[in-house]
Amino acid sequence: MRVIRKHVSRRRPEWWEAGIRFTCLPNCGRCCDEPDGLVYLSREDASRISNSFDLEVDEWLEKDARKTHDGRYVLKSTTEKGTCIYIKEDKGCKIHNVKPAQCSAFPFWKENIRDDPSWRKTIEICPGLVHPDAILIDGDTIRAHIEADAHAELGFKEW
């Protein structure tokens, strides 16, 4: 009898799978205070945030979102600075408990962790990555954040 062996492809682990130390610092807001940033919205985000304002989704979208050149919904930015409309003066978030998935996923966006230069840029804007109180975020949690960010970035065009 002949034994057939299947070739098992073993992928090389990503550099971040062993975990990354991080803590979100109170009133930091550096990730929200970047001019011209885009926060893509998933359908779940739009529903959750509109509910928190006791508005119908289409009303909330008209008030606090806009469409990109390709028709996906994103949060509006302030006209003065081009930053998130929900960032407070003290850099806290007005909608922290219902914020978009893309916001919750930061700094673990695929574009941030894809290579060393991208990660170094992320470290420059995110003090929570080098803070002494940072805790180890495990690889599975990081992967979940990457997937949540990717889902949000797909966005939606019609409610």
Q: Which two tokens stand for residue 96?
A: 């922290």
Q: How confident is the model at residue 157 (pLDDT cuts 50, 70, 90)?
A: very high
Whether 57 is covered by a domain: the verdict is yes
What range does the domain containing 149 cover? 20-154
Number of domains composing the chain: 1
- Output the average pLDDT for the chain: 92
* C-beta of residue 46 within 8 angstroms of C-beta of residue 157: no
pLDDT for residue 53: 98
Q: Tens digits of per-residue pLDDT, 16-67?
A: 999 999 999 988 888 888 888 899 999 999 999 999 999 999 999 999 999 9
pLDDT for residue 3: 62
Q: Which amino acid is at 50?
A: S
Distance, CA of 151 to CA of 115 (rounded, Å): 21
Q: Which residue has the higher pLDDT, 114 or 3?
A: 114
Bridge partner residues of 104 (DSSP): none
Whether 14 is covered by a domain: the verdict is no
Q: Which amino acid is at 137?
A: I
Q: Which residues contact 85 (CB under 8 A, 6 or more apart)?
A: 64, 75, 76, 77, 78
Whether 3 is covered by a domain: the verdict is no
By CB neighbour count within 10 A (0-12 exposed, 13-18 middle, 19+ buried), where does 156 fall? middle
